[in-house]
Chains A and B, each alone.
Chain A
Amino acid sequence: MSRTTTLSAALLVYRRDLLLAQRHWGQVAQPLVFFVMVATLFPLALSPELSELRRIASGVLWVAALLASLLGLELLFRSDHADGTLEQMLLSGQPLSVLALAKGFAHWTACGLPLVLFSPFVAGAIGVPLDSLGTVMVSLALGTGILSAIGAIGSALTLGLRRGSLLLGLLVLPLAMPALIFGARAIDLSIQGDSARGPLLLLAAMLVLAVTLAPPAIAAALRISAE
């Protein structure tokens, strides 16, 4: 009887979560719909003038993405906790931090990636020039990754609470501020025709930091919540 390697276990978790996302596609589509709706409401509320919209486009895109990411986070561990499968993962003998990382990555694939792929359309609609759409995508890809990692810690910490969503926002949003600042700045610089390399590299560094440090924190939080 051969034991499952840690990598195979992580792949199993990743595949299972994507399968579950596919069977609950309504829940998965929620953040994307929210992102598109919020971003397209601005032209209606402010002005349809593209030059005016272009000035605030970076902020609109990032705030909409940040809030949309929060929507899916609460459910990240909740159903696993409720049906007892989280407990089984805890007792599987596999390093919980690796399983948590796989869950976070699956969450990003199901919720963050569609948002990134859809962002050029939304950005184009609020006046972001064609040349800057690449920067929009890269900045949101890095940003949603950071948010998934930080958000997973918050989600794991608020797991046992009945109304954890408010607390989740209070926990995650302040930690996401640096990403918001540099992410929006990158898009802004690109719209103005400058190089966005600096803020994007800083965002990438933040993502590396989040992906490295978050898994042990998520694992510890899950163990506390399981008690």
Chain B
Amino acid sequence: MLGPNGSGKTTLLRVIAGLLLPEAGQVACNGRDTRADRDAWSAAFSYLAHSDGLKPELTAGENLAFEVGLRRRVSQAEVDGALGDLGIAHARNQLVATLSAGQRRRVAFARIMLSGAPLWILDEPYTNLDRDGSVFASAIIGRHLDAGGTALIAAHQPPAIPGHRPRNLELAA
């Protein structure tokens, strides 16, 4: 989903996620209104918002164990593996408050990765990531697509996902 600032990308993603009510129309998945069973719909996707959704007073490991744990059983080894995949294995026992913005984004990405949801809704996923981080993120999105998953991404630039050509939806300002 591409478009200039203020074109409504985040709003549309929040409507799809069920965090905002649409002024008109409905959000449907497989022909069923997503509001009919909100909890089942929420379980089907994982949402990365502008904010990373992490508690600064908890360590990266504690944050992941909690947030992923709400959705599915997750082992410490899986958490460590995801942090390692994103190049921040050392952050496991570090308070999120002491991590840089880019490192926090990577932890948030690890949450999406571990969620096990078939649909990823990613709002500006590359924000605050350095070049390495962006490459990690693209590779992880690519792996998710290879495994039959779907990703709905809002971005300023069309994301470069290795081995995949995203379909673009342009929103006018």
- B residues less than 8 Å from A19 (CB atoms): 58, 62
Contact residue among A23, A24, A87, A92 (Cβ-Cβ distance under 8 Å from B49): A87
Closest CB in chain A relative to B122 CB, distance in Å = 13
Residue A197 CB within 8 A of the other chain: no
Q: Give Cα A79 to B116, complex, Å.
A: 27
Residue B113 CB within 8 A of the other chain: no
Binds B, one of A2-10, A51-59, A103-111, A160-168: A2-10
Residue B69 CB within 8 A of the other chain: yes
With contact pairs A87-B19, A226-B19 given, residues A93 and B69 touching in the complex (Cβ less than 8 Å): no
Residue A170 CB within 8 A of the other chain: no
Q: Give Cα A87 to B72, complex, Å.
A: 17
Contact between B70 and A85, CB atoms less than 8 A apart: no
With contact pairs A19-B62, A93-B39, A227-B20 given, residues A85 and B67 touching in the complex (Cβ less than 8 Å): yes
Contact residue among B17, B45, B55, B69 (Cβ-Cβ distance under 8 Å from A85): B55
Contact between A12 and B57, CB atoms less than 8 A apart: no
> Total contacts A to B, CB within 8 angstroms?
90
Residue of A nearest to B14 (CB): A227
Q: Give Cα A98 to B19, complex, Å.
A: 19
Residue A88 CB within 8 A of the other chain: yes
How many of chain B's residues have a CB under 8 angstroms from any CB in A? 32
Residue of B nearest to A92 (CB): B70
Contact between A24 and B70, CB atoms less than 8 A apart: no
Interface residues of B in 9-38 (CB under 8 A from A): 17-21
Residue A1 CB within 8 A of the other chain: yes
Contact between B43 and A3, CB atoms less than 8 A apart: yes
With contact pairs A83-B51, A83-B53, A87-B49 given, residues A4 and B58 touching in the complex (Cβ less than 8 Å): no
Interface residues on A, range: 20 to 34
Closest CB in chain B relative to A22 CB, distance in Å = 10
Q: Give Cα A19 to B45, complex, Å.
A: 28
Residue A40 CB within 8 A of the other chain: no
Interface residues of B in 45-99 (CB under 8 A from A): 45-47, 49, 51-58, 62, 66-67, 69-73
Known: A84-B52, A88-B53. 11 other contacts (CB 8 A): A3-B73, A9-B70, A12-B66, A12-B70, A16-B55, A24-B57, A79-B55, A88-B47, A93-B39, A95-B39, A99-B70
User: Which residues of B line the A interface, CB within 8 A?
Assistant: 17-21, 39-40, 42-47, 49, 51-58, 62, 66-67, 69-73, 111, 116
User: Which residues of A line the B interface, CB within 8 A?
Assistant: 1-4, 8-9, 12-13, 16, 19-20, 23-24, 79, 83-85, 87-95, 99, 226-227
